[in-house]
Amino acid sequence: MPDHLHWLVELGDVDLSRLVLRVKSRSGITINRALGQSGRLWQKGFHDHALRKDEDLQAVARYVVANPLRAGLVTSVRDYPHWDARWL
């Protein structure tokens, strides 16, 4: 997605806030370096949604994987390089 990220992750013992901070930091540095830019890439904060036992993990994974298709970035989910998820 060009302007946001949908991410399905199993945390285990990892703190979500620390994980998001690490991903934003490392990806921001890498992207800015590749583009020859500097400065903030990501907005402050994030919105999370914890899956509850009554939610269907496979349906949520399909929703996340289909985002580039719904946004018109690809004509098939298989055209998106990050389409695969272990929950599908």
The answer to whether position 43 is within a domain reads yes
Residue 6 lies in a domain: no
Residue 4 lies in a domain: no
pLDDT value for 10 = 86
Q: Would residue 85 count as lying in a domain?
A: no
One-letter-per-residue 3-state SS of 16-81:
HHHHHHHHHHHHHHHHHHHHCCCCCCCCCCCCCCCCCCCCCHHHHHHHHHHHHHHCCCCCCHHHCC
Residues of the domain holding 43: 16-79
Report the chain's mean pLDDT, rounded to a whole number.
Answer: 88
In a domain, 23, yes or no: yes
Q: What is the pTM of this model?
A: 0.75
- Give how many domains the chain has, as a whole number: 1
- Give the mean pLDDT per block of 10 residues along the chain (88 residues): 81 92 95 95 91 83 89 88 80
In a domain, 86, yes or no: no
Could you tell me if residue 63 is inside a domain?
yes
Residue 3 lies in a domain: no
